[in-house]
Amino acid sequence: MKIGPKYKICRRLGEGVFPQCGTTKFSISGSSQRGPKTGRRRRGPSEYGRQLLEKQKARYTYGISENQFSNYVKKHHQPATLFSALESRLDNVVFRSGLALSRLAARQIVNHGHIMVNGRRLSIPSYLVKVGDKITIRSQSLGKGIFQDLDERLKDYTVPGWIENSSKGEYSILAQPLTGEAELNLDFPSIIDFYSRV
């Protein structure tokens, strides 16, 4: 999925969409682009506009195309199951495990074949992990540059409760992801409502 200028998207959708949009650099770039206040009050978005915004936030947060996202919603009609499906994507699990600094980097790691699921090399970012699955870094990839500072990165990193960090680069899926277990501030009921009316 081609994303485009991240700072511009973050200013429109909110800071939580991309990791770099929570930085000081982003804050400074935003303040420099705000013009003088005109005194005119902007009207708030309509309900449809708010739902569209939530949908866009979720799409960009997980880095999924419109077609992919629409298919997820068609399959998962409940907010909790939609959230669980998105969180269970292999690229997201790699990101949540602390093996990558962003979902985009996690997707590249999976695409390049660095990750194994239950001992089998997988290069499909959208693969949905299941309870009991074992996620590991391919042994031939452990010495690669992207994993060289892994110990330092993971030292103060806490994985979500549904993932267990057994040892360096080895993770087990303990349960289905539940809403409220992530830092995401996405309104999944609004997203479901948006697709029910389009």
CATH of the domain at 117: 3.10.290.10
Cα–Cα distance, 29 to 128 (Å, whole number)? 37
The pLDDT value recorded for residue 57 is: 93
The pLDDT value recorded for residue 66 is: 95
Let me know if residue 181 belongs to a domain: no
Do 18 and 74 belong together in one domain?
yes
The pLDDT value recorded for residue 117 is: 98
Residues 121/111, Cβ–Cβ less than 8 Å: no
Residues 162/178, Cβ–Cβ less than 8 Å: yes
> Hey, is 80 helix, strand or coil?
helix
Q: In terms of residue numbers, what domain contains 17?
A: 6-31+45-85+187-197
Instruction: Of 96, 160, 89, 146, give the one whose Cα is nearest residue 122.
Output: 89
Do 101 and 157 belong together in one domain?
yes
CA angle 12/88/136 to nearest 5° reads 120
The pLDDT value recorded for residue 176 is: 93
Let me know if residue 1 belongs to a domain: no
Q: Please report how the helices 6-13 and 24-33 are oriented relative to each other, as an axis angle in degrees rounded to 10.
A: 80
Do 71 and 93 belong together in one domain?
no
The pLDDT value recorded for residue 103 is: 94
Do 104 and 165 belong together in one domain?
yes
Q: What is the CATH number of the domain that holds 54?
A: 1.10.1050.10
The pLDDT value recorded for residue 149 is: 85
The pLDDT value recorded for residue 31 is: 46
Backbone φ, ψ for residue 116 (5° rounding)? -120, 140
Residues 116/131, Cβ–Cβ less than 8 Å: no
Do 123 and 66 belong together in one domain?
no
Do 51 and 124 belong together in one domain?
no
In total, how many domains does the chain have?
2
Q: How far is CA 17 from CA 7, 133, 136, 148, in A?
A: 10, 28, 27, 27
Do 103 and 59 belong together in one domain?
no
The pLDDT value recorded for residue 142 is: 86
The pLDDT value recorded for residue 35 is: 46
Do 130 and 69 belong together in one domain?
no
Digits of tens for pLDDT over the chain (198 positions)?
555 566 566 665 665 565 656 555 555 555 445 544 455 556 667 889 999 999 999 999 999 999 999 999 999 989 999 999 999 999 999 999 999 999 999 999 999 999 999 999 999 999 999 999 999 999 999 888 888 888 888 888 899 999 998 776 799 999 999 877 666 788 999 999 999 986
Exposure string for 168-182, b = 16+ CB within 10 A, e = fewer: ebebbbeebbeeebb
- The distance of Cα 164 from the centroid of its chain, to the nearest Å, equals 19
